Amino acid sequence: MRKAYGEKQAVDGLDLVVGRGEIVAVLGPNGAGKTTTVEILEGFRSRDGGDVRVLGEDPARAGRAWRSRIGVVLQGTNDLAEATVGELVHHFATYYPGARDADEVIDLVGLREKVRTRARQLSGGQRRRLDVALGIVGRPELVFLDEPTTGFDPQARRSFWDLVTNLREDGATVLLTTHYLEEAEHLADRVVVVRDGQVVAEGPPATLGGRTARQAVVRWHDEHGEHEQRTDTPTEVVGELGARYGEVPGLQVLRPTLEDVYLSLIGADEKPAVPTTSDEHDNEPTTTPTGAGR
């Protein structure tokens, strides 16, 4: 798939397959092409080239029946700001055959106490919860979540993770983008890393980028100072240290984290930015469409 904005090639031959029932997380730095890719798959943005099929149809040509089968949580929306939480969720539920119970969805996203509050009066994190509610109320077969927990506090984020797991147990397929590596590791069956509009690695979080094959680091200290040894056989090294010291002072065995692998794949020398508000998005044009299917 390809998409350019002027001379900027936002999506440059990106290949992606998501199987039914999977939770797939797309990771990448700002400007990598994540949001453009997702918006093309949702049918909100046109592509310049490539073949795309979502639930068996081309999203650029799919109609209302197809849209009733997907749920979308965009990076940010400001529509229908004067309606209350309860009004919005109940109203959007009428768009779909077989929708979830609107009051149940309000409880699921933790907005029961805000049910009579207008959307414009919600905090950033509360507005994200409302966006999630509108995206899932139709009981979609396929859910697109574009940085869904931006602005959530840690407790709300973990509650949302339980919700995503429940969606999959109900038979939904989930494609999400996120800046939170812990979120990807906790939720995803498979992680896809995107850089410069292309997929540079994909696989289960535990093995992404040859993670299990990368060297471990064994650290300890003694009267001579701090020591560190990189090794493919950390158990053997620890055994040798145990024979030397008995109780090894300051022993640590560190294996590459998902963050370590991710940073090496995108060529970054510093930790990824973690957004704290819903206003931090990819450096790509965005849309805020409204209506059935979000």
CA angle 123, 125, 126 (to 5 degrees): 65
64 and 106 share one domain: yes
Cα torsion 101, 125, 167, 74: sign: positive
**171 and 51 share one domain:** yes
Say how many domains are in the chain. 2
**Does residue 220 lie within any of the structural domains?**
yes
Cβ-Cβ contacts under 8 Å for 198 (sequence gap 6 or more): 12, 13, 14, 33
Based on the fold, state whether residues 136 and 225 are members of the same structural domain.
Answer: no
Against a cut of 0.85, is the pTM above it? Answer: no
In a domain, 152, yes or no: yes
> 71 is in which domain, residue-wise?
2-204
Per-residue pLDDT of the chain (294 residues; tens, 9 = 90+): 999 999 999 999 999 999 999 999 999 888 899 989 999 999 999 999 999 999 999 999 999 899 999 999 887 666 778 999 999 999 999 999 889 999 999 998 889 999 999 999 998 878 888 988 999 999 999 999 988 887 777 887 888 888 888 888 888 999 999 888 889 989 999 999 999 999 988 988 877 766 555 678 889 999 889 998 888 788 898 999 999 898 999 998 887 777 777 877 877 644 444 443 333 344 444 433 334 444
Residue 174: which CATH number? 3.40.50.300
In a domain, 96, yes or no: yes
